[in-house]
Amino acid sequence: MRGMLWRTKVALLNLIFVFLLVFAVRANAQVVIAQISDTHLGEAHSPHAFDNLRRAVDMVNARHPDAVIVSGDIGENYDQWLLARGILKWLHAPVYYAPGNHDVHTNDVARYREVFGPDYYRFQVKGVTFVVIDSQLLGNFDNFDARSPQPLPVATQAEGEKMLAWLGEQPGSRTADNRRRHWWSVGRGREPQRFQDDDNDDRRGGIVIGIQHIPAARGDNMPPDPKPYWVINEPYRSRELNLLHRLGVRHMLVGHWHVGNIFERDGITWHVAPSTSRLLPWSSPLGFAMHTISPNGDVKTEFVSINAEP
């Protein structure tokens, strides 16, 4: 009897040791994220977009990331969205989408949600929290040539206010209440739901990385075009930055400029991924970004050229 009790205790201690070892390794593990952006399937100026995206998927798989982010401007219409998803399903890692201004305009966010689910949400990878934001609810980007920020329709403005309120309620934010929430989609085309008191999902504090398509700041002379089309403008810019700071966000993964770029503004480092589809006058080579997130929350970014045709 004593021998059986002793073996049980030893087995239990071994189990506890393995659990603590796994927890320690996970807590100190680096997180590797691939970011694919501005794929623009179906755009007339991007005739090689399909082949370029296929090449990018193969190259990302060879690097074995923990997750892949697709940060907007996926395709020019519904059929191209489905085509892009058909290519991206070959990625070996989980894929998370953020909408771009070619995906969501001032009056059609519901269409995007029917295909991709929520346009703003949060997820975790190996203990790191990522917050996806729909930058198109923070400005009107429908008119490329506009010389001043254009107003949002009333309905879209209300959607933007709802998203900002959600962002302010996230765990870790100083504006949030003390309840713990879980945010996910329960079905395509349905409103994301909130669930409370999930003891298996501790997201209080820790590393928080932001994701959206359009940056909320400009780099040094980038982009050189001064039009408001390229960034989030006031009054939404200051409101979003305030909420990001309250969440402790120090790094944002963005797209939209078609150029690989890293710069610091407003206490945040902005990591701009290149496009896989089309070069602009100031663009870097076509490609994607690889982000390595250290246990202390630092982000190291590498830009990978896909050596594709423009």
pLDDT digits (tens, 9 = 90+) for 101-117: 999 999 999 999 999 99
Of 96, 48, 87, 41, give the one whose Cα is nearest residue 68.
96
Which band of pLDDT confidence, cut at 50, 70 and 90, is reported for residue 178? very low
Cα-based angle 34, 104, 258 (whole degrees, multiple of 5): 45
* Model confidence pLDDT, tens digit, residues 210-255: 999 999 999 988 999 999 999 999 999 999 999 999 999 999 999 9
Query: What CATH number matches the domain at 30-305, 3.40.50.360, 1.10.3720.10, 3.40.1280.10, 3.60.21.10?
Result: 3.60.21.10
Considering only residues 218 and 193, tell me which one the structure prediction assigns the higher pLDDT.
218
| Residue 98 CB burial class (10 angstroms; 0-12, 13-18, ≥19) | buried
Residue-level pLDDT at 187: 36
Region 266-272: mean pLDDT is 97
The pTM assigned to this predicted structure is 0.83
Which band of pLDDT confidence, cut at 50, 70 and 90, is reported for residue 14? low
Considering only residues 245 and 24, tell me which one the structure prediction assigns the higher pLDDT.
245
Distance CA 233, CA 239 (A): 10
**Complete edge-to-edge strand list for the sheet that includes strand 268-272:** 121-125, 128-132, 208-211, 251-254, 268-272, 261-265
Residue-level pLDDT at 283: 81
Which residues, at least 6 apart from 157, have a Cβ–Cβ distance to it below 8 Å? none
Q: How many angstroms separate the most distant Cα atoms in the chain? A: 84
Phi, psi (degrees; rounded to nearest 5) at 57: -60, -45
Residue-level pLDDT at 183: 32
Residue-level pLDDT at 154: 96
Residue-level pLDDT at 196: 32
Which residues, at least 6 apart from 37, have a Cβ–Cβ distance to it below 8 Å? 70, 71, 72, 73, 100, 213, 255, 256, 273, 274, 275, 276, 288, 289
Half-sphere exposure of 167 (CA within 13 A, CB side): 33
Cis peptide bond prior to 310, omega within 30° of 0: no
